[in-house]
Amino acid sequence: MCPRCHNNAVGVITHKRFFSLFFVPLIPLKWGKRCKCFICGYTAEVNKDTLTRVKQGAPLVLS
């Protein structure tokens, strides 16, 4: 559940950040998993424990 808009449209996305030169991504700098609300766009970092609980079927609650 999203803490901003209180909707259940929350999912896990893969986040990647690249170094770019003239708008061309060249070198990957950081990547990981984030939770995102698909209604309002709120994002939050998640740890590995939360991801394993979500994979086991627990509801995803952003804080």
Write down the residue that tokens 């939050």 correspond to.
Answer: 44
Considering the entire predicted model, what is its pTM?
0.63
Task: Provide the domain limits for residue 44.
Answer: 10-55
Q: What is the pLDDT of residue 4?
A: 85
Residue 4 lies in a domain: no
Residue 39 lies in a domain: yes
- d(CA 52, CA 54) in angstroms, rounded, equals 5
- pLDDT tens-digit series, residues 22-56: 999 999 898 888 888 889 988 888 888 888 887 78
Write down the residue that tokens 């259940």 correspond to.
Answer: 8
Burial of 6 (0-12, 13-18, 19+ CB in 10 A): exposed
Number of domains within the chain: 1
Residue 63 lies in a domain: no
Q: What is the pLDDT of residue 46?
A: 84
Residue 60 lies in a domain: no
Neighbouring residues of 29: CB distance < 8 A, sequence distance ≥ 6: 17, 18, 19
Q: What is the pLDDT of residue 20?
A: 92
- pLDDT tens-digit series, residues 10-31: 888 888 889 999 999 999 898 8
Residue 51 lies in a domain: yes
